[in-house]
Amino acid sequence: MSEIETIISGVGSYLPERILTNAELAKTVDTSDEWIRSRSGIAQRHLAADGQATSDLAREAAWAALGQAGLKPKDIGLIIVATVTPDKTFPSTAVYVQEKLGTPPCIAFDVSAACAGFIYALNIAHGFIASGQVKHALVIGAEKLSCFLDWNDRGTCVLFGDGAGAVVLSAETPSVAGPKRGMLATYLSADGRLAPHLYADGGPSTTGTVGLVKMNGKEVFRNAVEEISGAVFEVTERAEVSRHEIDWFVPHQANIRIIQSCAKKLELCESKIIVTIDKHANTSSASIPLALDAGIRDGRIKRGELLVFAALGGGLAWGSALIRY
Ligand code: COA
């Protein structure tokens, strides 16, 4: 890899207008606001409208990220959409986003790594930039999970929501003074033996259907705490940074108890964690860029600070990224 730095030059997110509160959900599902809040930390979730596709959510987030970066669609050389709810089986959702943004021909494809998808996509885009193939990349996590939830399964349907988040990654020449900026270290892994713990029970080459989300909550919880905290240890070691130097932990938002258990293992104070699970629920690949954007917009995350992203989801697949913002 070259000496080029891969920096986050813009961040944006989008949440559909419709909010579904726990109390509203409890009118149609055998659950309660108290159960959902105490077991997961979720108070509400956003739901996409019927006519809104994943590419529509992604387009809004990408447009906001481009604006923050001060770039135009024509400046983008690569679009990656991390999603498990593509508009169509093929082509990629990324090409629909490209078309909706009005981006001239460029590299565009999707990444399927469920809730770890954004971290996988970030790592891939970093490779394209560090190798000099592109100057600016759009990395988007976007999901319309509401379309494949089993609304009769209270063990899963209460946990998820729809939304999109995006970052623009840009190539920068390192400055002579100051610490290295942008992507400092990344770590990815997956273990297909654990696939039965979280999956959709359909697919084009098996059932010919999209399927519905199936989950063994306890096993996912246990693995999430283990692998998310392990992934943070891994990137800090790779970058030779002390965990105590981390300014912000921006974790995948699946369950507040998973986040708190990871923070305890990592000895990270809770005031250094960006939490959006209460308002967004679990938006899979969109959750980290949505949380990042929330932390930047409310003024907590500032330029130059050290951020760590980490996620685990279906696969099981997991990963982390250490970034100087
Ligand atoms: N409302 C009310 N009761 C519910 C419920 C709901 N929405 N969902 C499950 N229950 C019931 C169960 O039926 C069970 O009842 P029982 O004791 O009579 O059998 C009881 O609540 C406890 O269920 P349990 O599964 O033990 O709860 P839990 O403390 O493990 O919490 C999860 C369940 C799903 C919140 C938790 O396991 C979790 O968050 N796992 C990780 C999920 C995740 O992160 N997935 C995405 C990863 S990307």
pLDDT tens readout for residues 45-91: 999 999 999 999 999 999 999 999 999 999 999 999 999 999 999 99
Are 115 and 39 found together in one domain?
Answer: yes
Ligand 1 atom nearest 114 alpha carbon: 48
Q: Which of 172, 193, 219 is the last residue of a domain?
A: 172
What pLDDT score does 178 carry? 82
Residue closest by Cα to atom 13 of ligand 1: 155
Q: Residue 119 is inside which H or E element, if any?
A: helix 117-130
Are 167 and 233 found together in one domain?
Answer: no
Distance between CA 225 and CA 227 in Å, rounded?
A: 6
The pLDDT of 271-300, averaged and rounded, is 98
Are 158 and 37 found together in one domain?
Answer: yes
Q: Is 250 a domain residue?
A: yes
Distance between CA 137 and CA 9 in Å, rounded?
A: 10
Interval between CA 214 and ligand 1 midpoint (Å): 13
Ligand 1 atom nearest 254 alpha carbon: 44
Q: Which of 120, 147, 172 is the last residue of a domain?
A: 172
Structure tokens that stand for 84 in this block: 């498990």
154 CB less than 6 Å from ligand 1? yes
Ligand 1 atom nearest 284 alpha carbon: 48
Are 88 and 140 found together in one domain?
Answer: yes
224 CB less than 6 Å from ligand 1? yes
Q: Is 14 a domain residue?
A: yes
The pLDDT of 197-216, averaged and rounded, is 96
Are 24 and 163 found together in one domain?
Answer: yes
Interval between CA 158 and ligand 1 midpoint (Å): 10
135 CB less than 6 Å from ligand 1? no
Q: Which of 172, 202, 223 is the last residue of a domain?
A: 172
Are 159 and 13 found together in one domain?
Answer: yes
Average pLDDT for the chain: 96
35 CB less than 6 Å from ligand 1? yes
Are 146 and 284 found together in one domain?
Answer: no
310 CB less than 6 Å from ligand 1? no
Interval between CA 21 and ligand 1 midpoint (Å): 18
Q: Which amino acid would we find at residue 120?
A: Y
219: CB partners within 8 A, 6+ apart: 194, 197
Are 67 and 202 found together in one domain?
Answer: no
Q: Is 296 a domain residue?
A: yes
**Residue to mutate, 39, 151, 197, 219, ligand 1, most ligand atoms under 8 Å from C-beta:** 39
Maximal CA-CA distance, the chain: 60
Q: Is 177 a domain residue?
A: no
pLDDT per residue over 136-178, tens digit each?
999 999 999 999 899 999 999 999 999 999 999 999 998 878 8
Residue 88: CB atoms within 10 A of its CB come to: 12
**Beta strand extents in 118-236 (DSSP E only):** 136-144, 162-172, 182-190, 198-200, 213-215
Interval between CA 217 and ligand 1 midpoint (Å): 6
Are 202 and 129 found together in one domain?
Answer: no
Which CATH number fits the domain that encloses residue 251? Answer: 3.40.47.10
**Residue to mutate, 221, 225, 282, ligand 1, most ligand atoms under 8 Å from C-beta:** 221
Q: Is residue 2 very low, low, confident or very high in pLDDT (cuts 50, 70, 90)?
A: low
Q: Is residue 1 very low, low, confident or very high in pLDDT (cuts 50, 70, 90)?
A: very low
Domain count, the chain: 2
The span from the first CA to the last CA of the chain, in angstroms, equals 20
Are 234 and 129 found together in one domain?
Answer: no
Are 77 and 125 found together in one domain?
Answer: yes
Q: Which domain holds residue 189?
A: 182-324
The pLDDT of 8-35, averaged and rounded, is 97
Are 160 and 189 found together in one domain?
Answer: no
Q: Which residues are catalytic?
A: 115, 252, 282
Q: Is 263 a domain residue?
A: yes
